[in-house]
Amino acid sequence: MRDTETTQFVNSEAKVSPLTSLEPAPSPDPDRVIPNLVRIASEAGFEQTASKLRDLREWLGEDMRTLENEIMGKQDLHENIASRASEHLLHTAGKRIRPLCVILSARLGERQADQNVIDLAVAAEMVHAATLLHDDVLDEGQTRRGVDTARVVFGNSASILGGDHLLVCALQRVERGGSPQLLGSLLETISAMVHAEARQLEQRGNFEPSSETYDSVVRGKTAQLFNWSMRAGATLGGLSQKQTEALALFGHNLGMAFQLVDDTLDLAYDTATMGKDSLRDLKEGKMTWPLIIACQKDPMLTKLLRASLHNPSYMDDEERITNLRARILATDCVEVTRQRARDYAHSAHQILSDFPETPARTALATLLDGAVARVS
């Protein structure tokens, strides 16, 4: 996800003493719980979509407030460096797209966002947050969602344990909901996420322009949790097997589109604007879809990317980075990638068109449009 900011190496020491950094959890602000969707749509220039969402605010606002209350609340009775590290991440306002998928998918089946639905929605966000806490250690990430990462504040060890903690909390929420098949599919999903991350780690720095590897990694790393989120809501919503599979596929398509757009954002800003935050994926040796397209169209780029990554001074030279970025952008890879994202979104819209036109369907369609058109 496009949340971390830099890849500069820092040591594993926490910035502040973990015991003094404890602050009371902020109470959920009603003004911040719904506007994420609105903001995404508005920033993307989708004023009509943003306006529709504002109309839905009253209807969805209650669900989102309940969700935020659950996420912001204490996850359990433990109060230590692991729970603080996880709360540090959970309490910064994310887009909450995965929990929205659970809630809206359940509402497609005319199920209210009761405790069971909220439990699964929170679980989806927790699994996402758990992988971020581990990924930040893997990637030595320094900032996320505009603030220092948990590993910078509390140390790498706390970030690892915080991730473990959230994984267990997520599974416990699904387990207490008493849906064995959803617990089984969530375990499969987490497994897919771990192995996709491992494959990406193995491939790091290779810049092999393989679309098969890319699709397999993104399916596991991103799309499968969206798939599960839609499936979870649909199951609780009592939808038919066929409808549930259709919505799971909607989730897959949304997830693929989301990641493709995410990839383009890495190239969206130059070093002059973003400083060291620019070209993070590239500096981490990750092969994104725009880079695959660029390497296919400009075959010498693969060698150049590999060579530049193995030359530490290269990545610190602003002019060279600017030139490298210009060469990549010259292949039109960003537009090709955005088009691929739109193709996934189109397939997802078609799936929705088989469902009755309800506020939940409109909200899902808006979520999809926002995810594809987003610029942050």
201 interacts with a copy of itself by CB under 8 A: yes
Distance in Å, CB of 329 to a copy of itself, minimum: 30
Distance CA 5, CA 52 (A): 32
Asked if 341 interacts with a copy of itself (CB under 8 A), we say no
Using CB under 8 A, which residues numbered 103 to 142 contact a copy of itself?
Answer: 134, 137-138
The answer to whether the Cα torsion of 137, 143, 144, 148 is positive or negative is positive
Q: How far apart are CA 166 and CA 162, in angstroms?
A: 6
Whichever of 131 and 302 has its CB closer to a copy of itself, that residue is: 131
Near a copy of itself by CB under 8 A, which window of 89-97, 190-198, 321-329, 361-369?
A: 190-198
For residue 143, what is the enclosing H or E element? strand 143-144
Report whether 126 contacts 169 (CB < 8 A). Answer: yes
Note whether 168 binds a copy of itself by CB under 8 A: yes
How far is it, in rounded angstroms, from Cα 20 to Cα 18?
6
* Strand partners of residue 148: 143
Q: Of residues 67-96, which lie at the interface with a copy of itself (CB under 8 A)? A: 76, 78, 80-83
Structure tokens given for 301 = 């780029």
Mention every residue, 6+ apart, whose C-beta is less than 8 A from residue 321.
271, 278, 279, 315
Tell me if 208 contacts a copy of itself by CB under 8 A: no
Smallest gap from residue 245 Cβ to a copy of itself (A): 22
Of 144, 49, 138, 137, residue with least CA distance to 88: 144
- Residue 165 is a binding residue for a copy of itself (CB under 8 A): yes
Least spacing, CB of residue 306 vs a copy of itself, in Å: 15
Comparing CB distances to a copy of itself, the nearer of 105 and 185 is: 185
The correct pick among 199, 320, 327, 361 for binding a copy of itself (CB under 8 A) is: 199
Both tokens of 36, joined, read 């994420």
Residue closer to a copy of itself by CB (options 169, 294) is 169
Helix (H) or strand (E) holding 148: strand 147-148
Rounded to a whole number of angstroms, the minimum distance from the CB of residue 118 to a copy of itself is 19
Query: And the tokens for 308?
Result: 């530049």
What whole-number distance in Å separates Cα of residue 118 and Cα of residue 216? 30
The DSSP symbol for 6 reads -
Q: Is 202 in the site for a copy of itself (CB under 8 A)?
A: yes
Q: Which is nearer to a copy of itself, 163 or 255 (CB)?
A: 163
Does the footprint of a copy of itself cover residue 213 (CB under 8 A)?
Answer: no
Question: What b/e readout covers 258-271, taking b as 16+ CB neighbours within 10 angstroms?
Answer: bbbbbbbbbbeebb
322 in contact with a copy of itself (CB under 8 A): no
Minimal distance in Å, beta carbon 19 to a copy of itself? Answer: 7
Q: What are phi and psi of 149, to 5 degrees?
A: -65, 160
Stretch 8-27: interaction string toward a copy of itself, x if CB under 8 A: ----------xx--------
Interface residues with a copy of itself (CB under 8 A)?
18-19, 76, 78, 80-83, 134, 137-138, 156-158, 160-161, 163-165, 167-169, 171-172, 175, 180, 183-184, 187-188, 190-191, 194-195, 197-199, 201-202
